[in-house]
Amino acid sequence: MQSDNPTAAILVIGDEILSGRTREGNAHHLAGVLSATGFDLREIRVVADDNAQIVAAIRAFDKSLGGAYDLLFTSGGIGPTHDDITADAVAEAHGTRVEIHPEARAILQARCDRMGTELTENRLRMARIPVGAKLIDNAVSGAPGFSIGNTHVMAGVPEVFRGMVAWLIPQIPGGRPVQSDTVLVRRGESDVAEGLKAVAEEFSDLSLGSYPFQDPAGWGTNLVVRGLDAARVAEAMAALKHRLEL
């Protein structure tokens, strides 16, 4: 699919994802948001809680550091425990250091005061922010995320992550939302492959894909046309239906 939208990558950080202990859903959620708001997601990567891996991935992805994509969104590793090392790794990748951010500290202190708890050293770890970063609002649990360069760092807890995404994405200029159309056919992929290929070649500016499934009624295939121009997508879908005699 031809696109002039800003490009993006997602970096998911956490041993619990790689071990299979936790089912990853943040990247799936953000992918849908990006598609709907005019960002071209090109890559998703999962790395362990390992400083060298995180630093290498950030440098590979963040265009402000010579990386491949206009925007990088991360999930995980900014909590209060010893294995929450994302802030330090992001700071290293961007050539700076972490410090207790005054505004972040004030946010955490106010939350502790409301809850009648103490701002302990562990809780204060969540106010450690790379120097030069801007905070990402966290209306769910208080502890902020942050943005530095083209890297946007968010929590791994799904509810918190989604809240941060809802606050952050409107702050970033996007492009044209992806338009899509789908038709369900009660045929296998092999039966529609030739026709799908022919239409894909005719509409090379669009993305055409086939996605098989099985349900109580039997086997079938969803045929999907995606692009940035709704009229062009509709034209391709009409051509596909004609080709497959639907």
Phi, psi of 73 (to 5 degrees): -115, 130
Looking at residue 132, its pLDDT comes to 97
Residues 6+ apart with CB under 8 A from 116: none
pLDDT at 52 over 90: yes
Looking at residue 237, its pLDDT comes to 97
Provide CATH code, domain 7-171: 3.40.980.10
Q: What is the pLDDT of residues 131-161, one digit of tens each?
A: 999 999 999 999 999 999 999 999 999 999 9
Looking at residue 238, its pLDDT comes to 98
Per the prediction, the chain carries an average pLDDT of: 96
Provide CATH code, domain 180-243: 3.30.70.2860
**pLDDT tier for residue 1 given thresholds of 50, 70 and 90:** confident
**pLDDT tier for residue 119 given thresholds of 50, 70 and 90:** very high
Q: What is the pLDDT of residues 28-49, one digit of tens each?
A: 999 999 999 999 999 999 999 9
Let me know: does 72 contact 9? Beta carbons within 8 Å.
Answer: yes
For the residues 68-75, what does the mean pLDDT come to?
A: 98
Sign (positive or negative) of CA dihedral 179, 167, 153, 68: positive
Residue 223: closest CA among 235, 234, 236, 210: 210
Q: What is the pLDDT of residues 59-70, one digit of tens each?
A: 999 999 999 999
pLDDT at 57 over 90: yes
**What are the structural domain ranges in the chain?**
7-171, 180-243
Looking at residue 88, its pLDDT comes to 97
